[in-house]
Amino acid sequence: MPKNKVAIVTGASRGIGRSIAFALANQGANIVAVDIDLPSTEATVAELKAVGVEAIAVQGNVTAAADVEKMVAAAMDKFGKIDILVNNAGITRDALLVRMKDEDWDAVLSVNLKGAFLCTRATAKIMSKQRYGRIINIASIVGQMGNAGQANYCASKAGLIGLTKSNARELARRNVTVNAIAPGFIATEMTDKLPESERQKLTTQIPMERLGTPDDIANAVLFLAAESSAYITGQVVAVNGGMYM
């Protein structure tokens, strides 16, 4: 388990990212919490410190290379190493294909895919030198099965799975593993946006008959982040209540 490890978590101030940060902290990892909104990230960091670990808040947009460099520099200044990177920051801009605006496409691809690329590129240099690292990308079930009204989001998450596999191949000999988690439908502000009728329809397609929780995803992160998961790389771990097999 990640005791005394250093973990960067993007999009850490709420939802799944917040649960991931707490799960890692509860196992003794020090946390670099990255998010656009500084006050909420600082509030999360204060709570993380109460768990008894070191934590810092970094205001950063994962789509901006300069912010990503700032994130890595802050982690190295404070802790001198980066063991775990969780690329969790993500957005949706849903619309049917024919109505989807260029800016909806660009925004989603930029945060969900380019953001993960930038954070991985900056962090992989350090992990390669260390000869140790765990990179975990939060993809999505819809990157595997598609979803009407989410062409941009599904493409970004399918792209993230391709990025995961390519990076896994490149970094394996440096003892850096790269894996993805594909959550099903998880109860967060992202899915709160769904109309109740849509949520009910979705639930009927889930063999477990419920939405997942952020902790369901955080538990899978803990598994992949562990030292003992050293021989698992390039994989997509589905955490979806059986919705897609």
Residues serving a catalytic function are: 153
In the list 31, 58, 89, 171, the residue contacting ligand NAP (rule: CB under 6 A) is 89
Judged by CB, which is closer to ligand NAP: 35, or 83? 35
Query: What is the x/- site pattern for ligand NAP, positions 120-159, by CB under 6 A?
Result: ------------------x-x-------------------
In the list 189, 228, 231, 245, the residue contacting ligand NAP (rule: CB under 6 A) is 189
Judged by CB, which is closer to ligand NAP: 172, or 190? 190
Q: Residue for token digits 């799975």?
A: 161
Rounded to 5°, the CA angle 139-143-148 comes to 130
Query: What is the x/- site pattern for ligand NAP, positions 7-36, by CB under 6 A?
Result: ---xx-xxxxx-----------------xx
Q: How many residues bind ligand NAP (CB under 6 A)?
A: 28
Judged by CB, which is closer to ligand NAP: 24, or 186? 186
Taking the C-alpha atoms of residue 172 and residue 158, their distance in angstroms, rounded to an integer, is 21
Q: Which of residues 94-123 bind ligand NAP (CB under 6 A)?
A: 111, 115
Of 39, 73, 69, which Cα lies nearest the Cα of 57?
39
Judged by CB, which is closer to ligand NAP: 126, or 211? 211
Task: Confirm or reject binding of residue 62 to ligand NAP (CB under 6 A).
Answer: yes
Q: How far is CA 33 from CA 19, 87, 113, 228, in A?
A: 12, 11, 19, 24
In the list 120, 123, 150, 188, the residue contacting ligand NAP (rule: CB under 6 A) is 188
Contacts of 72 (CB under 8 A, 6+ apart): 8, 82, 122, 123, 126
Task: Confirm or reject binding of residue 232 to ligand NAP (CB under 6 A).
Answer: no
In the list 186, 220, 221, 225, the residue contacting ligand NAP (rule: CB under 6 A) is 186
Per DSSP, the three-state class of 176 is strand
In the list 190, 202, 206, 236, the residue contacting ligand NAP (rule: CB under 6 A) is 190
The helix (H) or strand (E) run that includes residue 79 is helix 65-79
Of 241, 188, 239, which Cα lies nearest the Cα of 210?
241
Taking the C-alpha atoms of residue 212 and residue 214, their distance in angstroms, rounded to an integer, is 7
The whole-angstrom distance between residue 81's C-alpha and the CA centroid of its chain comes to 19
Calculate the CA dihedral of residues 61, 180, 219, 202 and round it to 10 degrees.
90
Site residues for ligand NAP per CB under 6 A: 10-11, 13-17, 35-37, 61-63, 88-91, 111, 115, 138, 140, 183, 185-186, 188-191
